[in-house]
Amino acid sequence: MAHLPAVDLGLMADHLSAHEGVIHKLKAYQEIVTNHQLRDIIRLQENVMRTHVWVMLALINPEYSHYVEVPPLSNGSTKHSFNSEKNEISHNNKWIVLELRNTAKNMSSTNYNSALMMQNTNVINAHIEMALQQHQLQKKYDEFITHMRWQFVPRVSVEEQVNTFLHFQHLL
């Protein structure tokens, strides 16, 4: 894509460096985890990250003049029936999936926030789509974490919700 704005190129160069590190981390984690369903999600994230690298390189390439589309998330509709694990073999799986959920969340946020600063329409649209795909990966990790009962979500009382509602109701 000829004549990219400097901000677009700079942000993508930063993203590509981050992708290099994350891809290597994902490959290493695939060797450590013992749960096949978790390994499949990690492999999917690695493939998505490699696709995002291809998209950014196509956007950066001044010889490539076509509109660059982010391919749909492959294997996106696959539903896993998660198997429970014994505690002694799940310790690594737990910290890895918690960390990778955070990675997907941060990548999604970074892509979206970068899109808000970018100027080229194709670059903006690609980064919004990449943000959505990382969010989908985060949800896959969430499903796994929830199934394994590794997530704690504090709840508030109905009274606290009502008090908050009443406090801000004047804004309507």
pLDDT per residue as tens digits for the range 10-54: 999 999 999 999 999 999 999 999 999 999 999 999 999 999 999
Indicate the SS3 state at residue 154. coil
Lowest mean pLDDT among 37-46, 81-90, 101-110: 81-90
Q: Which domains does the chain have, with CATH numbers?
A: 6-171 (1.20.1260)
CA angle 165/112/132 to nearest 5° reads 85
DSSP 39-55: HHHHHHHHHHHHHHHHH
Neighbours of 9 (CB within 10 A): 17
Mean pLDDT for the stretch of residues 130-142 = 99
Q: Looking at residue 66, what DSSP letter applies? A: S
pTM of this structure: 0.88
pLDDT of res. 2? 73
pLDDT grade, residue 76 (50/70/90)? very low
